[in-house]
Structure 1
């Protein structure tokens, strides 16, 4: 009985801790703090003249700690209800959706992509894992407005490939063997989105993002565009409010669990956060995981964001869209933006947030 009592006490404490968790159902709770956010806001929302067309421009900033909002600010016309274009943050949400499918037994990481998307038969060596690492080996140029004429992604999204984005990607030649080198490719992501259709029962694809992920999380702002074949543009065209994107972050922070349901397998979250080290380090840029971005250093290099904890990871998108997850601090941060140059710095922003939180109560 002397052994049983401590065990019962520990069990009751664990149950109490579980009940004490804050979840955004139906909405986020607010926490009053004494944190001075001025240094963070000064960086995220700098004053700009009406004629200034470049520089840092934040549309939304949302900071969640322990499941509660501790800071929230918007710049007109964006509001808490605005479904903002997430650009390539869409890729990480797609990976989370695929995590639900993997937990349902619909595929394994080692499966060839062609099993679920037959147009990839010419590339039978490419596995789902390779696409999730942006390592398909397909010939690809991810150039944007700065070099559009030879850009594979511009052609896919706006010209030759826009009616069938996965098909356009599948028709690319092989540049090198699959799985051997990271090469960032929005095409890889759109092939994944097409492969998801092949994992599902006929007619289930259109509703699946909502049935599997958005509705269980309480997300009601989602708009996800599809190409001419009906395939979700998993690379780029998901719109979410900042508060709804934060729900994805909280799901990841809590190892794929949503209240009492293991929505995404914990092993899948671990895969998302595991470094794919067949990449070249780029100063200041996060390193690839499983369709998420990591602050883990590549061999022989330093952490991309040295003032943030190494376990920090993120979903990142064009022109400054970001969902940061800082596990040790129980922080989830969403930033929507329209940055038109390279002045915004992830490390500087995270450094200021961490410093502000650390000074609380001083």
Structure 2
């Protein structure tokens, strides 16, 4: 019996040693996967609490834990509203992730925990969103009653709207003719566009081109590329995702994209130092790093850092009336043009209407002649699915729009977890659909758009 007791005591001691050792390991050198999870949780909670006014526990559960990796259910967050800080830790103890709210520049992930450096990376500007205007959209936010009774049932159809729909807005011939919102969301709620941000960032490139500071054939774009094959990469190569740079966009594990977004305070570092694995202009490789490089390029071409920080609002959001739009900045001062634009569904619809009008707003040309055409021109290397201007001809899910029964001129903004803006020039139609709908659920917004096209074209 004594031998058994000794064995049990030894096993218990071993278990205690393993647990203590594991805890020390998690505390001192947490795995990258846990750091990414906590960084992601802190960032998403920060943006939704401070910009959308949502409850942090609801955001943690609904936006981070419910649709994500099961490990995220172990995350606990703390919010310091006075200092604009959010921290997230596995079990409340390990692999801390941090985020900081910076007013007009939204929230940023702070992977190194250096809040002061992150605060100094962007100017101090309050986020001021004006009250809703009583003018009709797009000049204001008032929406007239639709005169097409066929639209409301389509938006109310759960199968067409998709799981966890948060907003649908239908614009026809320049007017909002139908809209619907999910529980807890409305026309004033800023919503994350994820990769739809890339197309908006491309429009900022176009604005700088119109000012004569950039051209499609510009090369020698970064000093780090001097003297090697990367110096031949052109602005057009980046816009078409044909740079030839290595970049892993797999969200199933720790990859280049998650390292860039949640482990590196300077998002430019990873993509600018990526090796060249294909000749520029010949291979399609979807890359959020490419979009961050585009942000850095247009910011640098403006010359004045303060002007660069003001540019999205002054050159694009302000003229279009996108008063809710916040393009967030990383912890070292580069706009996260790959992923982080928050805007209301009305403002996402304004941007779609801007593109359907060929980059003209209130009679003023704001994008170069032919620039929107690049957003509708396929790249050969993508099999015709991606365009030369950071947009999609393929509908979400991969089929070309025509194969989905949509007009052949349809093109898309598309973002992670079910964000989309369908633009159908021939039908004068923009359809915004926002939600939290992981791709594994198989939802395809083109079915909704197809039904709307049919309803608007029928007598």
2 CA distance for matches of 1:224 and 1:303? 29
In structure 1, the partner of 2:424 is: 326
1:229 aligned counterpart, secondary structure? coil
2:207 aligned counterpart, secondary structure? helix
Structure 1 residues 274, 113: closer, same or farther in 2, change over 3 A? Answer: farther
In structure 2, the partner of 1:193 is: 295
2 CA distance for matches of 1:347 and 1:222? 25
In structure 2, the partner of 1:232 is: 335
Structure 2 gaps of 5+ residues are 1-135
Structure 1 gaps of 5+ residues are 1-21, 47-54
Structure 1 residues 346, 120: closer, same or farther in 2, change over 3 A? Answer: farther
Pick the aligned partner of 2:436 from 325, 338, 347: 338
Asked if the contact 2:160/2:445 (under 8 Å) is kept, the reply is no
Asked if the contact 2:392/2:414 (under 8 Å) is kept, the reply is yes
1:60 aligned counterpart, secondary structure? strand
Deviations 1:216-265 (A, max 9, x none): 11111012211122000000011010101111111110111101211112
2:139 pairs with 1:34: no
Pick the aligned partner of 2:249 from 119, 142, 164: 142
1:107 aligned counterpart, secondary structure? coil
Pick the aligned partner of 1:154 from 258, 275, 285: 258
2:277 pairs with 1:175: yes
Deviations 1:101-134 (A, max 9, x none): 11111110000152xx433435201111001001
1:165 aligned counterpart, secondary structure? coil
* TM-score normalised according to structure 2 size: 0.65
Pick the aligned partner of 2:223 from 118, 138, 144: 118
Q: Which of these two proteins has the greater Rg computed from alpha carbons?
A: 2
2:268 pairs with 1:166: yes
2:209 pairs with 1:98: no
2 CA distance for matches of 1:216 and 1:190? 24
Tell me which protein shows more helix as a share of its residues.
2
Q: CA RMSD in A?
A: 2.1
In structure 2, the partner of 1:308 is: 406
Structure 1 range deviating more: 259-268 or 103-112? 259-268
Structure 1 residues 333, 44: closer, same or farther in 2, change over 3 A? Answer: farther
Asked if the contact 2:256/2:270 (under 8 Å) is kept, the reply is no
2 CA distance for matches of 1:29 and 1:61? 13
In structure 2, the partner of 1:16 is: none
1:278 aligned counterpart, secondary structure? helix
Q: How many residues align?
A: 316
2 CA distance for matches of 1:171 and 1:275? 28
* TM-score normalised according to structure 1 size: 0.82
- 1:304, distance to aligned residue in structure 2 (A): 5.8
Asked if the contact 2:196/2:419 (under 8 Å) is kept, the reply is yes
Pick the aligned partner of 1:79 from 155, 172, 186: 186
In structure 2, the partner of 1:62 is: 169
1 CA distance for matches of 2:171 and 2:250? 33
1 CA distance for matches of 2:173 and 2:225? 43
Higher relative contact order (CA 8 A, sep 6+): 1
Pick the aligned partner of 1:25 from 139, 163, 185: 139
Structure 1 residues 323, 181: closer, same or farther in 2, change over 3 A? Answer: same
In structure 1, the partner of 2:110 is: none
Asked if the contact 1:221/1:240 (under 8 Å) is kept, the reply is yes
